[in-house]
Structure 1
Amino acid sequence: MNENALCWLNGTLLPLSAASIPVNDHGLLYGDGVFEGIRIYGRRAFRLQRHLDRLVLSARAIALNIPYGCDDLTAAIQQLIDAFDAESGYIRVMVTRGPGSLGLNPKGCEQPNMIIIADQLSMVDQTSREQGARLIISSVRRLPADGLDPRIKSLNYLNHILAKIEANHAGVDEAVLLNAQGRVAEGTADNIFIVRDACLLTPPCTEGALEGITRELILDLAEAAGIEVRVQPLGVYDLYAADECFLTGTGAELIPVASIDQRRIGQCPGPIFRKLQQDFAAVVAAECQR
């Protein structure tokens, strides 16, 4: 943890090390809550409204009332950024169900906790970011949509954590989760893209992928650049046979992939990745100018 990390907790700004919530909060007891991750560039929150809209939809999907409106959250996030000691960083917005009984019934949870953290986040080291990340296919499957819809960014990420543990044990950077049918869903905290014959491909959200905001932007940038785009189911073979592969996400930003299960990807970083990375940086610069 960065010693300069800050927290906005239910209207109070304080050092992250001083922030606390009750131990009987159902967010802690059961992972009952929702969250968003937002990048800070040039002391501005990137695509903030889009993230807050998704937070509201996630909360609505689990019948959780957010105790602040979007205007209040926007002001709170800006207050946090203004007090933060860096030009760039990462914001985590969380809404927990709040304190209640030790039973899992949320009926007695009357006061949700609103937590906003400003800190630094790096998904991989600088060498992997420049030369490419190493991936494995995890044995952990993505939860099916009829169990927990992947569009809900809930606080319960246990199956993703187990996949990340596998990656740690294998000595690699990241793991790919498959869905129950054995098709590609996503990484532990990122969406996945491949390039095949100059065509950009990524799984649809119905396969278990999060409706990523960076994913959405990359698809738009690719179409604007005249790159053929297909959103279609992918198998493990498609990953192994890819000309290029890369990860996207608010935390990840854009990360090229060098290998999957010790199979080298054709080009890393490849020309389409480099083009999209350049265009992504241009959008960030345009939207986050002071």
Structure 2
Amino acid sequence: MERLLYFNGALVPEEEVRISPFDHGFLYGDGIFEGIRAYQGRVFRLEDHLGRLYQSAKSLWLTIPETRQQMAEAVLATVRANHLKDAYIRLVVSRGPGDLGLDPRQCPKPTVIIIADQIQLFPESLYESGLPVATASSRRPSGDVLNPQVKSLNYLNSVLAKVEAAQRGVPEMVLLNQLGHVVEGTGDNIFIVRNEMLVTPPRSAGILPGITRSVVMELARGEGIPVVEENFTVHELYNADECFLTGTAAEIIAAVSCDGRLIGDGRPGPLTRHLRARFMEYAANEGVSAYPGLSVI
């Protein structure tokens, strides 16, 4: 089936999408994006994702041509046009074409692209057995260098960590900040379980505060599971009872070893399994419908 993309105001076939070589998103990584999920025809936490997108745009002094309502409708239309019920949606806004200089004022019209497709970051078997992970040699940039709350197109730090993962034979890496505190994965937030309490790094550690992360925290607190946001080290990660990663693409997946040390008993722990089941149940019944007549909870 022909894939249709939203491109600068219209749904067009994939092969007809043309990005200018002078687009500053291509030349300099000057732009922002959101990864969004649809479950059973409902787009999950759409308003949260759009809120973060427009906040990121404001920080980058980037004016998105569409209003938030128009962008929401464009996301739903793209899912619908591709006849998808379960989908991964990539919404990208670049600075747009300009000259070969850095000045954003030379880019009068941003480029807006929405892709609705499928994604699988890890094989299904790893959701059952858990991930072996390792700590990356490169550190996350500090917030005064690159604000992690801006979900920008600059992902080179994560790409280099993925290169290291491939070289070390593990599917995912854990990144630390300049103080040696655990921050997150290459594209995921991280939780550890300690004495039946969830611990996740605070925003001050340099994390991107993920949408899935916030949902997991809401679900856990709703069940009386203690959740704290505090810094922790690799030593504490090694000695945690459980560990799992969260993200829109990854959803919830256990990490069962780090740098060759087993975490807990080396298998996905009971709290991780419970929260994953609760999250999938919640996601299947929440969201904005892409299809008229489909009931939305």
Stretches of structure 1 lacking an aligned partner (at least 5 in a row): none
Cα offset for 1:120?
Answer: 1.0
DSSP-derived class of the 1:180 partner? coil
Give the aligned partner of residue 255 of structure 1. Answer: 253
Asked if structure 2 preserves the Cα contact closer than 8 Å seen for 1:33 and 1:95, the reply is yes
CA contact (8 A) 1:141 1:179 kept: yes
CA distance in 1, matches of 2:237, 2:16: 44
Residues 158-237 of structure 1 aligned to structure 2 (within 5 Å): 158-237=156-235
In the superposition, the TM-score normalised over structure 2's length comes to: 0.94
Partner of 1:277: 276
**Which deviations, in whole Å up to 9, do the C-alpha atoms of 1:217-239 show, x marking residues without a partner?**
11111111111111100101011
Q: CA RMSD in A?
A: 1.3
2:42 counterpart of 1:36: no
> Counterparts of 1:186 and 1:117 in 2: how far apart (Å)?
26
Deviation, structure 1 residue 5? 4.1
SS of equivalent residue, structure 2 residue 112: strand
Amino acid across the alignment from 2:268: P
- Summarize deviations over 1:137-182 as a string: whole Å, max 9, x none: 0011101000111100000000111001101111111011101111
What is the alpha-carbon distance in structure 1 between the residues aligned to residue 10 and residue 285 of structure 2?
32
Task: Flag the 1:270–1:4 CA change in 2: closer, same or farther, 3 A.
Answer: farther
> Following superposition of structure 1 onto structure 2, how do residues 131-146 of structure 1 map, counting pairs within 5 Å?
131-146=129-144
Contact 1:240 1:265 in 2 (8 A): yes
Q: 1:29 to 1:193 in 2, by over 3 A?
A: same
Unaligned runs of 5+ in 2: none
> For residue 100 of structure 1, what is the aligned residue in structure 2?
98
Aligned to 1:151: 149
Distance 1:6 1:262, change over 3 A: farther
Distance 1:4 1:259, change over 3 A: farther
Tell me which residue corresponds to 2:65. Answer: 67
Q: Distance in 2 between the 1:212 and 1:42 partners?
A: 22
Give the Cα separation in 2 of the matches to 1:258 and 1:109.
46
Question: What is the TM-score with the length of structure 1 in the denominator?
Answer: 0.96
The corresponding residue for 2:50 is: 52
Paired with 1:56 and 1:230, the residues of 2 have a C-alpha distance of 28
Matches of 1:118 and 1:154 in 2, distance apart? 19
Contact 1:16/1:117 (8 A) holds in 2: no
Number of corresponding residues:
288
Taking only the aligned residue pairs, the percentage that are identical comes to: 48
Moved over 4 A (4+): none
Deviation at 1:73, TM superposition (A): 0.8
